Structure formats: structure tokens, C-alpha cells
Amino acid sequence: MKTIPLYAARNVFGCPACGEASASVEQVARGATHKTCSRCQFEWLEYGGQREEQMTTETTPRASRTLPWMATFSGKPFTPMHPDPGSIDLPSIAHALSNICRFGGHCKRFYSVAQHSVLVKRQAAHLLEEAQRDDQSIVERLVDLGNIMRAALLHDAAEAYIGDVIQPIKPYVAVRSDTLRGDFGMLEACVLCAVHSALCVAWPVADRHAEIIHEADLILCATEGQQLMGGIYGDRECPAWDITKVVEPDPDLVIEPVGPEAAEQMFLEEAWKLGVKER
């Protein structure tokens, strides 16, 4: 038998698990109200008086957990350890990514993840054009080119909800909760899966498609390092910047960083052109 978490409060605005305002209500003994979320089916009891929480100790569905959440640009609550597609929307992604600076903020000028994402999508399109010149049949074999482009634009979209953790520490960041256990990459994948679901983009991304997006990302990273990073990354050779051993910077791309508002609009326009839509 599933234990209902006791969630005692005088004012509970929405489901404690996902924030949904709609819930079925049933009066039970001792003046308590038994509620069930209409979206995630989380069940809880409400009492009057001082708020206190008690997590269930029995095994319950992942949605039936009271987890920390964050407020988003659109006003929807988002629970990182239980990413719900219903809490994700395109305007929030565009706004958040446009305010996050690449390279942990160590660029010569502010350069957003939103602008980087747009350039990765364009680089992926360029790689596909080059591949088609070498092999006319490659585009026919790569099913759903639109999905590749949408996935390229959204490849860093998880950062809108869990931030941009710099690469040198990602392998050492462990995730431990009642619902998720693993490294930070696993959490990123879970959130990105929810993003794809919310925006009707196929998941998982096919291996060949992911390879194209990854190569485009590496080329952009090398180009950004050369043009936007001072000191050891851009102005002089250094073994620490070894990405050029894998790919070369794009010699034809000149990156002109734009501010957050322009980057946000750039990201949204690119998404609209690609037919990105919320479910």
C-alpha cells in the first residue's frame, strides 16, 4: 500500500511535486483534505496550521515525491530532480540561455549560450551541406533533417534549467536524490529528454545525428576559444587548449557577440523557423 506524504499547510498553492493548480479534493477524517494532482497524480494531505512536511518512506512513483523546485521565467515551477515536460516552454529556455555566459563568464565580452546554440545549429547545417557535396545520398540516409537542426539548436537547452557547469568539473559532480543517482551528465540527459518532449523534438537523437551535432559543437568551441578567450586560450598557444587537436576553428566564421535581448530574439526566431512548437 502506498503511503500518502503528509503535507501540512494552511495555504498550499498547487501540487507540491509539479506545481499544477488543478487537483481532485476529498474530505477525510480529522478535518484533513486529501488532494490528488490532476497532472502527476501526486497525493497529499492538507491540514490547517503551521506547515510541515514528511516524506514517505515507502517506494512510490517518481512523481510522488516532494522535491525542491525553482521558479522559471514563465512562472512555471520546475523540479530539476524530476524534470516535467509540462514545466518547460520555449520562451523560458530562450530567456535563460540568453542570460548565461559561455566559458563560465571568462570571455573577452559577454557571449551567451543562446547565441552559441544558434551558431551550432548553423554549423551543423554547413556540415550537412559539405557532406552532401561529397556524397549525394547522405541526406537521403539521414532521416528527418529538421529534427537534426532542432536538436542542434536545443543541444544545450538543459542549461536553462540546471545551469552551465564548466567542463573540467562535470565528471566530478555527483547527483544523489531519491529519484536520480549518477553523474551530472545523467542529470543533463534527463532534463534534455524532458525539453525534447515538451517541444515535440524526437528523443533520443540518433547516433549519426548526434555525431554531426557534436562535431558542430566542437568546431564552435574551438572558434570561440580562438576569437573570444584571452590569455592561454586565444592569444597564444597553450597545451591546455587541446581541442584544436580534434577539430580546427572555422576560418570563415567571425563571431560578433550580441547582448542578452538580441540573443534571446535570435534563438526564438531560429526556433520558429525550424518549426519548434510546444506540445
- Segment 235-239 shows an average pLDDT of 49
Domain 90-273 - what CATH class? mainly alpha
* pLDDT for residue 119: 98
Q: What is the pLDDT of residues 103-126, one digit of tens each?
A: 999 999 999 999 999 999 999 999
pLDDT single digits (tens) 18-35: 556 677 776 544 445 677
pLDDT in tens, 59-99: 333 443 467 899 999 999 999 988 889 999 999 999 999 99
| pTM beyond 0.85 | no
Check residues 172 and 90 and name the one with the higher pLDDT: 90
pLDDT at 136: 64
**pLDDT reported for residue 214:** 94
pLDDT of residue 7: 35
Task: For the chain, give every domain's residue range.
Answer: 6-66, 90-273
Work out the pLDDT band at 161, boundaries 50, 70, 90.
very high
259 close to 266: Cβ distance less than 8 angstroms: no
Tens digits of per-residue pLDDT, 178-235?
666 678 888 898 899 899 999 999 887 888 889 999 999 999 999 998 899 865 554 4
CA 81 – CA 214 distance, rounded (Å)? 25
pLDDT of residue 202: 87
